[in-house]
Amino acid sequence: MITPPGVAWIIGGGSGIGAAMALQLAQAGWMVAISGRRIERLNEVAAKSSRIKPFQLDVTDIAAIEEAVTRVASQFGRIDLFVFGAAAWQPSRLADYDFEGFHALVDTNLLGFVRMANPLVRQMERQEGGGQIAVIASVAGYFGLPRAAAYNATKGALINLLQTMRTELKPKRIRVRMLAPGFFKSELTAKNDFPMPFLMETDAAAKRAIDGLLRSERFEIAFPRRLAWPMKLLRMLPYPVFFSITDKMMPKP
């Protein structure tokens, strides 16, 4: 199955994997709307292709979201593929569960998508052929890791939510997809001060994501496999074995 070119909308399209996906989709013949808070970044990406149009948006602003869905659908006629890639990330201090730190990540990574869900579903229900909703989660959402409590919690919650939506939205002809990439070069991973195995170039990660979305019907698009499969195996281990492994991930005093 190969999905023909249509209209895509990428949240987080001003940088990183979102920008790379926008450019690759445009090159493949898609019309692409890109959104994010930083209009200058969006304009830089849009300047590289006449098929890309910027729409500034803050996913913590529910009124702005309703307006943005209407604007994108009005300008392009429909939304065939929606990709939510907005993400906040900050390494956590060990055993520190500060509310403000958690709230900032949950508000963007999880509730940002929840705010967009109903307006998008209503739009895709109205249009012929339905559509696709894809969210960039992470292999980090498979289980809890030290020093990433808030980030892992948001990604794990997204995976769970998408599993529910996959079943509930299928009768409405809306396909729900979950992207679970490993480490790839971005502004967020540049903050990391720990080893990142199998670190991917941003363009390569974007290509893996697009190939999975347009050439398969899989719910889960996880890559690279040499990282994703060990992570998936780890979450299936008995807890005594699981915790003996994660204990070794703790920094040495």
Active site residues: 151
Tokens representing 232 are: 């998936």
Residue 132 phi, psi (nearest 5): -120, 140
Q: 245 exposed, middle or buried (CB, 10 Å; 0-12, 13-18, 19+)? A: exposed
Q: Where are the beta strands (DSSP E) in 22-144?
A: 31-36, 52-56, 81-84, 131-136
* Cβ within 8 Å of residue 65, ≥6 positions away: 57, 59, 115, 116, 119
Burial 27-42 (b: 16+ CB within 10 A, else e): eeebbbbbbbbeeebb
Strands 52-56 and 31-36: parallel
SS3 149: helix
* Cβ within 8 Å of residue 48, ≥6 positions away: 23
**In Å, how far are 52, 77, 249 from 244, measured between CA atoms?**
48, 53, 9
